[in-house]
Chains A and B, each alone.
Chain A
Amino acid sequence: MSGENRLPAGGRIDRSRKVSFQFNGRTYHGYEGDTLASALIANGVSVTARSFKYHRPRGIVGSGVEEPASLVELEGADASGNQPITTVRIRNGLRVRSVNCWPSPQFDLGAVNQLFASLIPAGFYYKTFKWPDWQLFEPTIRRAAGLASAPSAPPPHGHFETRNAHADVLIAGAGPAGLIAALAAGRAGARVFLADEGPEPGGSLLNRNLVIAGRPATDWVGEVSRELAAMDNVVHLQNATVWAYREHNLLIVNERAPAHETVLERNWQVRARQVICATGAIERPMVFINNDRPGAMLASAAQAYVNRYAALPGRRAVVFTNNDSAYSAAADMKAAGIDIAAIIDSRDCVPAGIGRQVPGIKILKGHVVTAAKGYRRVRSVTVSARNGGASQSIQCDLLAHSGGWNPAVHLFSQSRGTLRYDDAIAGFVPDAPAQSTHSAGAAAGLMALNEALASGARAGHQAASLAGFDADIVEIPDAHEEPYAIEPLWRVEAPGPRGKAFLDIQNDVTVDDIHLAMREGYATVEHVKRYTTGGMGIDQGKTGNINIIGAVAARKGARMQDIGTTTFRSPYTPVSFGAIAGLREGGVHLPYRHTPVTAWNQTNGAVMYEAGARWQRPGYFPCEGEGFQDTVNRECRAVRERVGVYDGSPLGTFELKGRDVGRFLDFIYTNVMSSLQVGNGRYGIMLSDDGLILDDGVAFRVGEYRWIVSTSTGNADAMHQHMERIAQVERPQWEVMITNVTSQWNNATVCGPRARAVVEALGTDIDLSPEAFAFMALRDGTVAGLPARVARVSFTGELSFEINVAPRHMRKLWDAVMEVGAPFGIEPVGSEANHVLRVEKGFLSLGHEVDGTADPHDLGMSWVMSRKKADFMGKRSVALRRAGGAARRELVGLLPVDPNTPIPEGAPLTPKGRREATEGLVTACVWSVANSRWVALALLKDGHSRQGETAYARLKDRVIPVTVTAPVFYDPSGELLRS
């Protein structure tokens, strides 16, 4: 049965398509086109939720995204939490649970909270910070707070997508104002992007029985939609919420049901020349005792349920209002068969035309509802004259109330447009736009249909014209609506009934909470919001915020315009993370960079690491049955005793050309580069101008005005930016051209005592003898039949030849090296072994010894700081930092007193191992195959003068004594790499 409260005909539901779904474990039936809310109302379900803090029974308050009371969690493939019950479309097989109640909203054990209500007013948890210790309360508060749980896996049946778009005119909202604006702009030829959050266009026209040009308004909606669909220059999206308005007219739109098999949601970033906010208005409730009981709902919601969904939210209604709009709701409810017991209007006078809408209905002017009675359902209301007096009780099961309408100024405010308070509608309306923004319809405070159509047409025409598209003003169809009048009543002052009058229904914030916050000194809106959490729920205070401002203003005796609003922030309504990420996950979000040797590495069992800048580099090459340390030791032994090879392609490489490159390099390096001979290279350090080490690397001179500069792998992009900045901004008068050639050169570096023999065996026309090809020289020629540039640089401390070739030749070179090197006992070497070898030599590594505080003097490299150069980047600052005479942390070697005890990298060194401020840290520690023991490098206070002393690494559970030595453990004189 699809509902005891379903009207036999009418509504925008498809009665030929029945739907069955589960709500809190029970099966119900509805129709295609129903929301979860409308289907449950049709099935006579009253209690659909429990409130956040007090666990009071709650029902359905609104009919759209403004819904504050009932949140649900979807289960199964669509798993998703905290959806308002009014926005979920039912479909066969849907399984939904209410959040924040157990076992069910009907009977919820959490209701016990109500017994402690006086202990948990607004901000109660702040008090726990004072005494005794808030950490005692934290776990309990955490468990009690929070609503639904997050899904545990991504949806299996599709993916998310992001798209960029440009538009001449973006229109947010396809109600009457938005539709006619789109028509105007579209006919003028502008590129129009029209987005509306509902499943079909029409906005508020879908919920009401209005007439346009003598026909039902929905007919006009259909007509306009068809004309827009036929225009190539118009993009019209439904189920698409414009959720953010950023700078330079960038807006973000979340399209939730794109017509596509596998795209679940699409997120658009739209850059628009002109924007029209046609976002309508949102009704606000009246504020009185127990205004949160199930059965108390917004008048416009009751109207929507009877008109749009053919569902009766009750049988006998009382309508409570301070404005005209509730009267048409009452008329529609009566026409649907709901008995209207009375309309309680807080105003002393009601315009005559308005009264004519509800013939035969009792109207009590100048009266207010002082309280709702009932617990799981409203059963009656108490009513009295506004200025006090005898009260009467009126029985009802539905209380439809309206406190007025708030123009939806969220997007306009996000764009930094300012607001002003309009006394005529008792609401905040757009004032001065900050970007190319127009507002139309109820969003601009123009509540009547004829006003909405006129302003929408005007805005559409104006926006198109400003974007360069002129046309005649579109004809405005005939529509009449009584002008909207309101006398604001921010709360019902009720001597007599005690109880809670809610301002923010979602977060359980009452009028008393606002008064408490103000008593405690939190009297501005931003403070009140945060102290009480009013407006901070998932509904972002759409129904409650203006009432909160009203309560603050009333308490202070101030005007609404002097209190002002809190800052509006995106998203307007919740957006799934998937939509924001789109396809940017895993390898798409951060793609890896590979060299041509990757395939060979994978075939040969390399364990791949991520080296800086997303490069994939082999860490080590394990053999069958080997442990990690065995593998690293084997690779190190190969390099020290025979020959090894590694792929050095990821290193940053830049080609610098121009008359002034020499002088430029002298400025950015600490040492002199301009004196370098063609065909030679030099190791240098680059400092930032505030004296810290940026990078180290080798620069080669390949011609009089042509250089190759290399940087460390992870730093290449940053160094590119640094060099370009100096060349273009600091020294624009110098002739220096910089080209990033990192991807243009790959290299295989052959290193070890047999390296020369291997390169000879590859076949080359380069004279490799030490006399002809000295350490740090560069030679062009042919190697293994390939054009190559060979450099004698060494990062391992062994005799080393870096063979550079074009990427298209790299694999061939690698295969040749492995084949030719086999009889010499060659092995591929990964970054782990490279790390060991460079530690043995005391070579620097960014992120280890170069930790952002050490300068070249600290690292024992005073030789690299030129004394000849008058100025270079960092020179002045290094001197300045050292001028104070404070102790420096200096690079030393450490030998653990027990040679078989390693020290974790990063371990602190403290005086005598005591629990004190550190005097240094271990920057690297490796098993040295050459020395058959653990060796380490460290930065230690006054390290240079403490050689031979014992220092102490302090770990959590023990202290490790170490002997301080010079930072080199192999070939200190560098004979091998010069051989």
Chain B
Amino acid sequence: MLVITCPFCGPRSEREFAHGGAVSSARPDPARVGDAAWVDHLTVVSNPLGPVHERWWHARGCGAWLTIWRDTRTHDIVGGPDVR
């Protein structure tokens, strides 16, 4: 049960948040990007051994989306929060 710091509400229990997955590459322009790159963007998820940049939604709080850096080995939150 992590303690996640919401940029608006401060440190709150993980229970108030919904996990939004690892931050992936920016959405490429679908009109320009090739098929392989488009599929990679949708399906290849960052899964590092170490800090991962990930999104959380403060669903049972202010409703803000935020990102943090969390170390996947230790659960220590080593960066963030950033809005969006």
Contacts and interface: CB of A to CB of B under 8 A. Distances in A.
Size bracket of the B interface: 20 to 34
Contact of A246 (B1, B38, B59, B84): B1
A919 B72 CA distance: 43
Main secondary structure of the interface of A (DSSP, over half): helix
A497 interface: no
Interface string B38-76: 110011000000000001010100011100000000111
Nearest to B28: A876
Given A434-B74, A721-B57, A728 B84 contact: yes
Nearest to B14: A248
A725 B65 CA distance: 7
B1 A877 contact: no
A888 interface: no
A158 interface: no
B42 A689 contact: yes
B39 A880 contact: yes
B79 to A, nearest CB: 15
A876 B20 contact: no
Contact of B42 (A690, A721, A729): A690
Contacts of A729: 55, 65, 84
A721 B35 contact: no
Contacts of A269: 1
B42 to A, nearest CB: 5
Interface in A690-739: 690, 721, 724-725, 728-730, 732
A248 B31 contact: no
A841 B34 CA distance: 40
A880 B38 contact: yes
Given A248-B1, A876-B38, A880-B38, A871 B31 contact: yes
A876 B37 CA distance: 12
A247 interface: yes
A247 B57 contact: no
A690 B18 CA distance: 21
Interface in B1-51: 1-3, 18, 20, 27, 29-31, 35, 38-39, 42-43
Main secondary structure of the interface of B (DSSP, over half): loop
A573 to B, nearest CB: 21
A689 B63 CA distance: 22
Contacts of A250: 1
B31 A724 contact: no
B65 A724 contact: yes
Contacts of A728: 64-65, 84
A876 B42 CA distance: 11
Given A434-B74, A721-B18, A725-B57, A880 B3 contact: no
A259 interface: no
Nearest to A870: B31
A414 to B, nearest CB: 12
Given A728-B84, A876-B30, A876-B38, A247 B65 contact: no
Q: Which of A689, A690, A728 has the most CB of B within 10 A?
A: A728
B42 A247 contact: no
A416 interface: yes
A876 B27 CA distance: 12
A871 B30 contact: yes
A229 B53 CA distance: 46
Interface in A237-269: 246-248, 250, 269
A271 B3 contact: yes
A58 interface: no
Given A271-B3, A724-B65, A732-B84, A416 B30 contact: no
A877 B42 CA distance: 9
Contacts of A247: 1-2, 74-76
A702 B3 CA distance: 41
Nearest to B63: A724
Size bracket of the A interface: 20 to 34
Nearest to A732: B84
Contacts of B3: 248, 271
Q: Which of A248, A689, A875 has the most CB of B within 10 A?
A: A248
Contacts of B35: 880, 883
A271 B65 CA distance: 25
Contacts of B18: 721
B74 A416 contact: yes
A876 B38 CA distance: 9
Interface in A857-893: 870-871, 875-877, 880, 883
A269 B27 CA distance: 40
Nearest to B65: A728
Contacts of B2: 247-248
A414 B73 CA distance: 13
Contacts of A689: 27, 42
Contacts of A880: 35, 38-39
A434 B74 CA distance: 8
B63 A730 contact: no
A876 B39 CA distance: 10
Interface in A791-820: none
Contacts of A730: 27
B60 to A, nearest CB: 11
Contacts of A246: 1
Interface string A819-858: 0000000000000000000000000000000000000000
Contacts of A870: 31
A721 B59 contact: yes
Nearest to A269: B1
Q: Which of A247, A269, A689 has the most CB of B within 10 A?
A: A247
Contact of B30 (A725, A875, A883): A875
Contacts of A877: 38, 42
A880 B34 CA distance: 10
Nearest to B38: A876
A883 B31 CA distance: 15
B27 A725 contact: no
A836 to B, nearest CB: 36
A749 to B, nearest CB: 29
Contacts of A875: 30
Contacts of A724: 57, 63, 65
A247 B13 CA distance: 12
Contacts of B74: 247, 416, 434
Contacts of A876: 30, 38
A248 B71 CA distance: 12
A248 B75 contact: yes
A334 to B, nearest CB: 51
Nearest to A250: B1
Contacts of B1: 246-248, 250, 269
Interface string A545-577: 000000000000000000000000000000000
Contacts of A434: 74
Q: Which of A269, A876, A883 has the most CB of B within 10 A?
A: A876
Contacts of A883: 35
A690 B38 CA distance: 9
Nearest to A877: B42
A880 B35 CA distance: 7
Contacts of A248: 1-3, 75
Given A246-B1, A271-B3, A876-B38, A725 B20 contact: yes
B39 to A, nearest CB: 7
A730 B59 CA distance: 18
A479 B69 CA distance: 49
A419 to B, nearest CB: 16
Contacts of A725: 20, 55, 57, 65
20 contacts: A246-B1, A248-B2, A248-B75, A250-B1, A269-B1, A271-B3, A689-B42, A690-B43, A721-B18, A721-B59, A724-B57, A724-B65, A728-B64, A728-B65, A729-B65, A729-B84, A871-B29, A871-B31, A876-B30, A880-B38
Given A724-B65, A876-B30, A876-B38, 5 more contacts: A248-B75, A728-B84, A871-B29, A875-B30, A877-B42
Interface of A: 246-248, 250, 269, 271, 416, 434, 689-690, 721, 724-725, 728-730, 732, 870-871, 875-877, 880, 883
Closest 3 interchain pairs by CB?
A247-B75, A876-B30, A728-B65
